[in-house]
Amino acid sequence: MSTPALIALDWGTTSLRAYLLGDDGRALNTRTSSAGIMKLPEGGFDQAFEETCGAWLDANARGKAPLPVVAAGMVGSAQGWVEAPYVETPAGADALVAGIVTVKTARGVTVNVVPGVLERGTLPNVMRGEETQIFGALVASDPSLDAESGALIGLPGTHAKWAFVRDGRIERFYTFMTGETFGVLRDHTILGRTMHPSATHDESAFVRGVDTARDAGHPGMLATIFSTRTLGLTGQLSAEQQADYLSGLLIGHELRGLNEVLARENAALAGKTLALIGNDALCDRYRAALARFGCDDAQTVAHATEHGLYRIAAQAGLVSAPARAA
Amino acid sequence: MSTPALIALDWGTTSLRAYLLGDDGRALNTRTSSAGIMKLPEGGFDQAFEETCGAWLDANARGKAPLPVVAAGMVGSAQGWVEAPYVETPAGADALVAGIVTVKTARGVTVNVVPGVLERGTLPNVMRGEETQIFGALVASDPSLDAESGALIGLPGTHAKWAFVRDGRIERFYTFMTGETFGVLRDHTILGRTMHPSATHDESAFVRGVDTARDAGHPGMLATIFSTRTLGLTGQLSAEQQADYLSGLLIGHELRGLNEVLARENAALAGKTLALIGNDALCDRYRAALARFGCDDAQTVAHATEHGLYRIAAQAGLVSAPARAA
């Protein structure tokens, strides 16, 4: 059993996940709270922190210095506890460490807030929290991922990210509003009216959606999504299949777009090795969709968040030893 | 002054527009009601019809046969007054006439309901109401529109349609959920949170959105829409500009998709003559967007709905003389 060494926070818009990490970087305890930064009252950060981590701090006080605390995610945004201005691409772990901004809690503990990453350009991109997971994945995953051609790491979700990492630095990345767009199309447009919820995932409907988006011959996503309805009207898709079909369509459009970006540098998803970070069910969907693009080597990296937070804390001198790969 | 000859109804999901047409096909009177088919109580069609058209029927009774009535739109859907099953592409006005289904009102008047059009395939498409507008536009517009290469007609809106018409028949068409998608992205996603409403249309922001979608180098719509937010975060787009930018992006993605369809038959929007049917402000937006694709010859066709309903009524023998072009 390792000794508690670090409190690590993944503090996003809708939830707060806190890890008590041992001196080997592994989680000794985890607490999840719904105290996302958009749900807190004015000045609510201190209270949410105390409720989630106070007992850990008390138990490990022992008259010594309190446990160090590191936090990543929207907690460092302009709407967060303290703003940690974005560092710009290409961004390595060293830049993230240099960009840490601290805030003192009511009980006098210092919280080290990791900055997000900004890529400038005509289509700028931002991330907060994912940069930490990416560096965690690089620690935890097969070293072959970051070979000379660089690593491609996908983070499915509400706002899916795809990041290109080379020599330990995030070079560029894209944001796809896939999860959020799926939710509003299902819940707020005509497409939801003919859908019936289904307890089981319909793989054939999902794959049909992926293939439809992948194949040439259609005039883009604004048109293909309407087929969710018309395939129902023409008896080709049951009401229970329509949500999985739409999910496949949108993930397919995301991967098609990613593939087009890769094609411009003479690369492709087909045959590529890449890593996924996210919940298992969603990563499974992405793996199934990637297979339709010829990519069969997509590994889901577990514990990327804890690994990333521990690594940054170690590099910042908050803990003594770097975490070992899981 | 012409004599009342036809009651023509454009009866959709959210509204009912009724025209009293003279024997020259021109509107003598118009009434608009919010009695769309999705807003009616069970059995509410008769009452809505009486409230909207009863006075016209009374005033023109004169002991003779009542005015004939023709209706197009969702009123002929499975959720409508009576179902007029779709006719399939390629569909001419003769097929629409042959597909008319009638329903007898409480006062004994016969309503002739025009069927919609279905295009079968892996991405099926359906329209109800637009087919009638399209035939109206062919009557009303420059004959050069339907030259040997066929006509391209756009109907911007909640579910925008683009139809290819040749020799007086709708050969194929596409549906783009542009208007509805814009609405839900603005009202129900993170993109709306940084938008401020603006009383004026920001043409430069709109065109920037169109150009962004048109140009290569981005990984598709799920990615470009996020720039509505990040251009704001980086100070390149004000809160008041973001809705027009997003509108331009989506219309640009629609036209890009249409252009890709055209490219497969060695055609392009650039230099093409086409017609638009819809409200003036929206057609103006589309004309501005089309110009960014090199298409400067997009005419908005007025009164397409009345012309189409009159033409179908004439071809069905409900009125004596075909309408003349406006």
Tokens of B245: 């930018």
Q: What is the CATH number of the domain that holds B27?
A: 3.30.420.300
Task: Say if CB B45 and CB B60 are below 8 A apart.
Answer: no
Query: Rounded to whole angstroms, how far apart are CA atoms A258 and A276?
Result: 14
Mark whether A135 and A184 lie in a shared domain: no
Q: Which two tokens stand for residue A123?
A: 């289509």
Whether B155 maps to a domain, the answer reads: no
Q: Is B326 a residue whose pLDDT tops 50?
A: no
pTM over 0.80: yes
Same domain, A9 and A108: yes
E-assigned strands of B24-168?
A: 27-33, 69-72, 87-88, 91-92, 101-104, 110-113, 117-119, 125-127, 151-155, 160-166
Sheet of A117-119, strand order: A87-88, A117-119, A125-127
Better-predicted residue by pLDDT, B220 or A38: B220
Q: B224, B240, B124, B47: which is closest to A121 by C-alpha?
A: B224
Residue B45 lies in a domain: yes
Output the domain CATH number for residue B211. 3.30.420.310
Angle, helices B280-292 vs B242-263, to 10°: value is: 60
| b/e burial code for range B26-55 (CB count within 10 A of at least 16 → b) | bebeeeebebbbeebeeeebbebbeebbee
Same domain, A93 and A50: yes
Q: Domain count of chain B?
A: 2
- Spatial separation of the C-alpha atoms in residues A74 and A62, rounded to whole Å: 32
Here the tokens at position B5 are: 């000859």
Does residue B138 lie within any of the structural domains?
no
Q: What is the mean pLDDT of residues B93-120?
A: 97
User: What number is the ipTM of this complex?
Assistant: 0.94
Q: Characterise B25 by phi-psi region: left (phi > 0), alpha (psi -120 to 50), beta (else).
A: left
Q: What distance in Å separates the CA atoms of residue B187 and residue B198, rounded to the nearest whole number? A: 15
CA distances, A198 to each of A245, A307, B23 (Å): 12, 36, 54
3-state secondary structure (DSSP) of residue B204: helix
Inter-chain residue contact A226 with B159, CB threshold 8 Å: yes
d(CA B160, CA B181): 11
Listed in sequence order, the DSSP H helices in chain A are 44-59, 93-98, 130-140, 178-188, 203-214, 221-224, 227-233, 242-263, 280-292, 304-315
Q: CB-based contact (8 Å) between B176 and chain A?
A: yes
Both tokens of B111, joined, read 């309503």
- B232-284: per-residue pLDDT in tens? 999 999 999 999 999 999 999 999 999 999 999 899 999 999 999 999 999 99
Same domain, residue pair A8 and A135: yes
Q: Which of residues 194-223 of A touch B (CB under 8 A)?
A: 212, 217-223
User: For B57-83, what is the mean pLDDT?
Assistant: 91
pLDDT at B186 > cutoff 70: yes
Is residue A188 located within the same domain as residue A122?
no
Task: Please tell me if residue B302 touches chain A, with a CB cutoff of 8 Å.
Answer: no
Q: Are A44 and A98 members of one domain?
A: yes
pLDDT of residue B147: 58
The verdict on residue A153 lying in a domain is no
Please give the residue range of the domain that contains residue A180.
Answer: 176-300
Of A51, A57, A45, the C-alpha closest to A4 is A57
Q: Are residues A132 and A78 part of one domain?
A: yes
Contact check, Cβ <8 Å, B230/A181? no
Note whether A22 and A122 are same-domain residues.
yes
CB atoms A218 and B257 under 8 Å: yes
The answer to whether A2 and A22 are in contact (CB under 8 A) is yes
| Shortest Cα distance, chain A CAs vs residue B326, angstroms | 33
Please state the rounded mean pLDDT for residues B105-122: 96
Q: B234–A159: do the CB atoms touch at under 8 Å?
A: no
What 8-state DSSP symbol labels residue A160? E
Mean pLDDT on B274-303: 96
Beta bridge partners of residue A18, listed in sequence order:
A9, A31
Q: In this predicted model, which residue has the larger pLDDT, B321 or B60?
A: B60
B105 lies in some domain: yes
State how far residue B238 is from chain A, nearest Cα, in angstroms: 15
Query: Is residue B294 included in any domain, yes or no?
Result: yes
Same domain, B117 and B201: no
pLDDT (mean) for B281-305: 96
Q: Which residues pair with A87 in a beta bridge?
A: A117
Given an 8 Å threshold on Cβ–Cβ distance, is B123 in contact with A233?
no
Q: Please report residues of B whose CB lies closer than 8 A to that of A177.
A: 189, 191, 222-223, 225-226
Q: Which residues of A, range 251-290, sit inside 8 Å of B by Cβ?
A: 253-254, 256-258, 260-261, 264
pLDDT tens digit string along B126-172?
Answer: 999 999 999 999 876 666 665 556 899 999 999 999 999 999 999 99
Whether A79 and A182 share a structural domain: no
Residues A107, A67, single domain; the answer is yes
Looking at residue A325, what is its pLDDT?
47
Asked whether residue A124 is assigned to any structural domain, the reply reads: yes
Is A93 among the domain residues? yes
Same-domain status, B106 and B50: yes
SS3 A276: strand
Min distance A87 CA to chain B CA atoms (Å): 13
Query: How many contacts, defined by CB atoms under 8 Å, are there between A and B?
Result: 146
CA distance A252 to chain B (A): 11
Q: Which regions of chain A are under pLDDT 50? A: 323, 325-326
Closest to B61 in 3D by CA, of B104, B113, B1, B109: B109
Chain A residues touching B126 at Cβ < 8 A: 230, 233
